[in-house]
């Protein structure tokens, strides 16, 4: 129940990758036949990722090592490229740390960053984005959907605003790509971050869509690979895997999303029958694979340990920020108190989850919560 922090590699993806670790090991920059063969499969994978997100041409896709690198390349690359036009960047209060931290770094380099708040369900108000724009605004960065509570943002409406004012629009599509249809042309997106592992491809691979006419400064300089945007010998096995994963995801997404939404709704319906239990995120505008809850009077870490003892693996929030004892900044941005955010449970579903899995969680969780509440010094009436 923790596919959000890591997903297994689909066996069909692994099969596609295997020859490129030993038998087909050539560098795609080499001009001999083996190199040309590697170049061909590289470009085939690029075309597959482009098709997944509706990119008009394969060359709009730049391969990176992960979604974090893609976010960094997009944000720093666009900010530095358009610095002469202005120094103001707009983002939201619920972005992933791979967006938050690069923007914090840019703030130390003379850029001004505005974090637009969200409502209690994690939804962004387009009018507030409009109000935050100044004459110096050069970049707007918004996640397509939040990976901690699943709320899907009004990306097309924000794109209309940025497009009308000639402001670069970056979207972190890590949680959304492969879960819901993402079309960079229909959505009018300038830069889109895509993750391999979130679509059952290998770790160590990611991609950035760059719209024609949008210029960014490269962050890794060298031999000029990836159209000069990301130098270094390409990770061919990883890229092949991401390409195959994109192909499979594109073909299977609709059916799989319908299946997962059924499991998600079953979990939500039954878990909310428990007293002092709350759903986190928007009830309907949410990803099919995410069910996020808050339990009064107990801590999420204790729930996780209880679930672990029964063979259920889950999370309290983003795995990328779990090294600290602080509650998730995204949950705090919903208006939750620290003690409320600490009582969070995040269930992220994947293609290998079954209805029996959901039944087992529904059967197991109430007993764990009841036991923890019986030991908690916090009781109804002591916290709101």
Of 320, 326, 371, 382, which residue is the catalytic one?
A: 320
Q: Are 11 and 199 within 8 A, CB to CB? A: no
- Beta strand pairing status for 112-116 and 88-92? parallel
- Residues near 296 by Cβ (< 8 Å), separated by ≥ 6? 276, 277, 278, 340, 343, 378, 380, 383
Q: Are 39 and 233 within 8 A, CB to CB? A: no
SS3 143: strand
- Let me know if 177 is a catalytic residue: no
CA dist., res. 79 & res. 141, Å (int): 11
CA dist., res. 29 & res. 157, Å (int): 41
CA dist., res. 141 & res. 165, Å (int): 15
Which DSSP letter does residue 29 get? T
CA dist., res. 301 & res. 359, Å (int): 22
Q: Output the CA torsion sign for 287, 293, 299, 301.
A: negative
Residue with tokens 């983003």: 318
CA dist., res. 297 & res. 179, Å (int): 33
Which DSSP letter does residue 381 get? T
Q: How far is CA 281 from CA 119, 210, 296, in A?
A: 9, 30, 16
Which DSSP letter does residue 376 get? -
Number of Cβ within 10 Å of residue 1's Cβ equals 21
Task: Provide the annotated active-site residues.
Answer: 320
């Amino acid at each position: 129940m923790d596919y959000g922090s890591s997903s297994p590699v689909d066996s069909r993806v692994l099969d596609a990758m295997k020859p490129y670790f030993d038998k087909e090991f050539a560098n795609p920059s080499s001009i001999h036949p083996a190199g040309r063969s590697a170049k061909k499969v590289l470009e085939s994978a690029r075309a597959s990722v482009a098709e997944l997100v509706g990119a008009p041409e394969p060359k709009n896709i730049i391969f990176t090592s992960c979604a974090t690198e893609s976010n960094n390349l997009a944000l720093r690359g666009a900010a530095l490229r358009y610095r002469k036009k202005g120094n103001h960047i707009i983002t939201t209060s619920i972005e992933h740390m791979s967006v938050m931290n690069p923007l914090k770094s840019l703030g130390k380099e003379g850029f001004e960053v505005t974090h637009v708040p969200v409502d209690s369900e994690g939804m962004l108000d387009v009018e507030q984005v409009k109000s935050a724009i100044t004459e110096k605004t050069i970049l707007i960065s918004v996640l397509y959907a939040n990976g901690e509570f699943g709320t899907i943002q009004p990306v097309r409406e924000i794109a209309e605003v940025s497009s009308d004012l000639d402001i670069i629009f970056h979207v972190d599509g890590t949680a959304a790509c492969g879960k819901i249809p993402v079309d960079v042309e229909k959505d009018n997106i300038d830069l889109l971050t895509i993750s391999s592992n979130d679509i059952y491809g290998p770790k160590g691979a990611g991609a950035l869509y760059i719209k024609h006419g949008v210029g960014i400064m490269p962050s890794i300089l060298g031999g000029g690979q990836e159209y000069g945007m990301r130098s270094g010998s390409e990770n061919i096995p990883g890229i092949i895997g991401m390409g195959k994963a994109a192909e499979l995801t594109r073909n299977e997404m609709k059916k799989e999303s319908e299946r997962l939404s059924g499991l998600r709704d079953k979990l939500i319906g039954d878990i909310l029958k428990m007293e002092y239990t709350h759903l986190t995120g928007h009830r309907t505008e949410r990803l099919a694979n995410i069910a996020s809850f808050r339990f009064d009077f107990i801590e999420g870490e204790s729930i996780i340990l209880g679930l672990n003892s029964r063979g259920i693996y889950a999370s309290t929030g983003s795995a990328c920020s779990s090294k600290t004892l602080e509650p998730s900044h995204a949950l705090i941005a919903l208006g939750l108190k620290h003690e409320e955010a600490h009582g969070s449970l995040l269930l992220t579903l994947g293609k290998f989850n079954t209805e029996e899995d959901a039944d087992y969680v529904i059967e197991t969780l109430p007993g764990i919560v009841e036991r923890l509440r019986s030991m908690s010094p916090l009781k109804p009436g002591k916290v709101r």
